[in-house]
Chains A and B, each alone.
Chain A
Amino acid sequence: MKQYLANVQGVDGYLIFSMIVFMSFFIGLLFWVLKADKKYIDKMKNIPLN
């Protein structure tokens, strides 16, 4: 029974943990990308065509 409970808790704990990790990663990423310098982005875009 104890083992069973531990497993059930594991489900939530794991999901919440991994969601938090991903979300913080993603929000940080989004923040930085939105801040990106337009000149830099344009330059990068054109690298294959140069």
Chain B
Amino acid sequence: MNTGRRAFLATLAGGLAAPALLRAGTAAHVIVLGAGFGGATVARLLAGVPELRVTLIERDATIHTCPFSNGVLGGLWPMERIAFDLVALGRAGVRLIRAEATGIDPETRSISLADGTRLTGDVMVLAPGISFDWAAIEGLSPATAEQVPHAWKAGRQTEILREQLVAMEDGGLVVVGIPAPPFRCPPGPYERISLIAHYLKTNKPASKILVLDAQDAFSKQPLFEEAWASLYPGMIERVPGSASGAVMAVDAGTMRISTGFDDVTAAVANIIPPQRAARILTDAGLDDGLGWCPVEPVGFESRVAPGIHILGDAALQGDMPKSAFSANGQARACARAILARLAGHEPQGAKLLNVCYSLTAPDYGFSIADVYEPGPEKVSLVLSEGRTTALGASAETHAAEAEYARSWFDTITSQLYG
């Protein structure tokens, strides 16, 4: 390797800030893992930069987004609404590799694929999302998830849960099990409960939903409870963590769901297991034993391995929730940091946003909307008061927020996959 190229790579990796970094002659190789909200954003932004070669590794040919998957469960729209291919990313200049990544070597910045291929990058961006902690709930496993779906990674799991709801008789009991935090999308389970209730009210009004929750309080709780009381009175019962709500065991054969306190038999059970960073990251030690991967708050570079950026749900960055909106903003900041290093500058932080809309019915939406700033140690929430839609908001406000939610989803997915 010639000196120029070495300096260039060291600079990209954050080692040096030499202006001579562009003497390399060959394009630097950026490897991106995961074509979800974090990975697809970064790949799309960096594709076409002449100094870079971008490779994107993704196991699935079709991405099914978790955002708007609750709408599929509620019958608001079909699966196609959340299905996207990666053709546009390829057209934008990203080299796509459809494969399962099996291992990461942080030292050499290389990644192994299921077929034995090994790719080495000058910079790595890892956004593989979450893994489930199956062992935390007795009787739950990838195999039993065929009968007791989590639907917390969208796709076939979403279809299974939807099919079960459609096949259920009127008067059936739907059990939703919610894990202790942190998990992806803090308001997601409660949006799901709402949209399942919408489906049941419309099609199977004698049915009930029992929520077995490891949490006591939850995201946008007053707004959800206000909506449930007005839209679905008597349909939803919730057992919080302090009343032993956490699901401890599942028997997929008999559909018995057990908490530390009680057993119920479900017609349909949607049990969401506890979560941590994707296994491939924890196996590589990138979580530093914490279960989530610590990163710095400007370019989301790993605190464990220089030159490796970790985005989205897997990252331990501070106060931002594990949302698609956050992953997208982090990815934009990461792309800026990579380009800044390429040009020989120190990356500068800028404020970030998160907006999470929740739908409780087709025309009833509300939101949490926050500004974040990269501090010296972590990403910090700027204002901790008045973050959500007000209680008692008008029907017009809820309809407008539902409309904006749909608009956000269509815009972000067209930016990534369109």
A binds B: no
- B interface vs A, CB < 8 Å? none
- A interface vs B, CB < 8 Å? none
